[in-house]
């Protein structure tokens, strides 16, 4: 048994060494197409442009990264584009959870997520339940009581239909027998602003989106949908701490993937490149400031993570009736 383990480990190490030598064989020969699966100005876009500027400033790649936004059809445009690029070795993409949900919801796209090259998962964005301070709510129990009292007049704003925010709202409704009304918006910024202006009553913004209004005292965090408390909001409990056994944590992946058909050498090159980005001070600072979680993940490990996530999302979307 032990012998077998040693052998496998040895083989794996040999394999690693081989890819490592092969990796040095690939160098980009032209600007790298850096596709962003979302529109200009959103959270994913800002993050992608931060990665690009880290690469530029530290001169990590021999060629520039050229960000292009392909936001159409909730990521459908980006996925079909990546499926058909003529040079997969110079095409990478920043993805979010629509990487799982869009192919599930739109089977006509004929996109296989697992065919994309798992380059690196850079972080997981977190979700927090926010209300306006004038509601006078500070705990989940008070929240549930108030929402029940308000009947269907309680409004949750969120980014997009059947999106991450929608999934969390559906879960709250189901778990606590609530009748929260969900209103889809174009972007998280608009949601945060309407919450501050008391046009809606609550949101499940990412911390980065609500931070400005949190600092000005307009909005209050109730619970975080994470496994551990967020360092930035030490007094805000996680949902699981206060939920009486209803376990629910939800994250948004921020990953870099390569186009289907990318060579192993190129994939190893980009994994090495984004490992350097991940380890840079600028990225670590951003991760802390915006309350992102999740460690670096790549290769096989990332593929497995995707497999689990796709399964989960299929279950969630089926439960909510978004797919059959």
Q: Which residues bind other proteins (CB under 8 A)?
A: 29-31, 33, 40-41, 63-64, 66, 68-74, 76-77, 80-81, 86-87, 105-109, 150-155, 160-163, 181, 183-186, 189-190, 193-194, 196-199, 201, 322-323
CB nearer to other proteins: pick between 58 and 68: 68
The least distance separating other proteins from the CB of residue 108, rounded to whole angstroms, comes to: 5
CB nearer to other proteins: pick between 215 and 300: 215
The least distance separating other proteins from the CB of residue 280, rounded to whole angstroms, comes to: 19
Residue with token string 């376990």: 247
Sheet with 32-36: list strands edge to edge.
Answer: 65-69, 32-36, 91-95, 252-258, 117-125
The least distance separating other proteins from the CB of residue 164, rounded to whole angstroms, comes to: 12
The least distance separating other proteins from the CB of residue 18, rounded to whole angstroms, comes to: 27
* Positive or negative torsion for Cα 198, 200, 203, 205: negative
Q: Are 306 and 103 in contact (CB under 8 A)?
A: no
**Torsion region of 59: left, alpha or beta (phi above 0 gives left; psi -120 to 50 gives alpha):** left
CB nearer to other proteins: pick between 56 and 264: 56
Give whole-number Cα distances, 198 to 17, 51, 85, 182, 192, in Å: 58, 34, 45, 15, 10
CB nearer to other proteins: pick between 8 and 152: 152
**How far is 163 from 160, CA to CA, in rounded Å?**
6
CB-side neighbour CA atoms (13 Å) of 97: 24
Query: Would you give the distance in Å from CA 215 to the centre of its chain?
Result: 23
CB nearer to other proteins: pick between 15 and 31: 31
For the chain, the distance separating the N- and C-terminal CA atoms, rounded to the nearest angstrom, is 45
CB nearer to other proteins: pick between 161 and 315: 161
Contacts of residue 264, Cβ cutoff 8 Å, sequence gap at least 6: 19, 22
The least distance separating other proteins from the CB of residue 8, rounded to whole angstroms, comes to: 40
CB nearer to other proteins: pick between 176 and 305: 176
The least distance separating other proteins from the CB of residue 145, rounded to whole angstroms, comes to: 14
The least distance separating other proteins from the CB of residue 189, rounded to whole angstroms, comes to: 8
């Amino acid at each position: 048994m032990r012998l077998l383990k040693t052998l496998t480990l040895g083989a794996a190490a040999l394999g690693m060494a081989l890819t490592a030598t092969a990796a040095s064989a690939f160098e980009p020969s032209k600007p790298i197409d850096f596709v962003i699966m979302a529109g200009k100005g959103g959270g994913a876009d800002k993050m992608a442009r931060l990665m690009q500027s880290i690469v530029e400033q530290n001169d990590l790649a021999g060629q520039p990264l050229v960000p292009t936004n392909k936001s159409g059809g909730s990521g459908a445009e980006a996925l079909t584009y990546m499926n058909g690029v003529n040079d997969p070795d110079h095409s990478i993409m920043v993805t979010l959870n629509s990487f799982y949900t869009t192919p599930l919801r739109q089977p006509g796209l004929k996109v296989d997520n697992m065919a994309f090259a798992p380059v690196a998962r850079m972080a997981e964005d977190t979700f927090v339940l926010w209300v306006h301070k004038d509601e006078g709510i500070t705990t989940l129990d008070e929240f549930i009581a108030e929402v029940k009292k308000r009947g269907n007049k309680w409004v949750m704003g969120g980014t997009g239909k059947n999106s991450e925010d929608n999934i969390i709202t559906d879960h709250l409704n189901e778990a606590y027998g609530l009748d929260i009304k969900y209103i889809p918006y174009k972007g998280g910024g608009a949601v945060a602003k309407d919450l501050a202006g008391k046009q809606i009553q609550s949101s499940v913004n990412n911390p980065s989106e609500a931070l400005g209004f949190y600092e000005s005292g307009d909005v209050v965090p109730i619970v975080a949908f994470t496994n551990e408390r967020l360092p930035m909001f030490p007094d805000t409990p996680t949902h699981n701490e206060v939920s009486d056994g209803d376990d629910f944590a939800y994250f948004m992946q921020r990953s870099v993937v390569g186009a289907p058909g990318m060579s192993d050498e190129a994939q190893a090159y980009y994994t090495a490149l984004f490992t350097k980005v991940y380890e840079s001070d600028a990225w670590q600072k951003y991760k802390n400031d915006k309350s992102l979680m999740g460690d670096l993940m790549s290769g096989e490990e990332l593929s497995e993570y995707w497999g689990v996530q796709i399964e989960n999302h299929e279950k969630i979307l089926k439960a909510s009736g978004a797919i059959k």
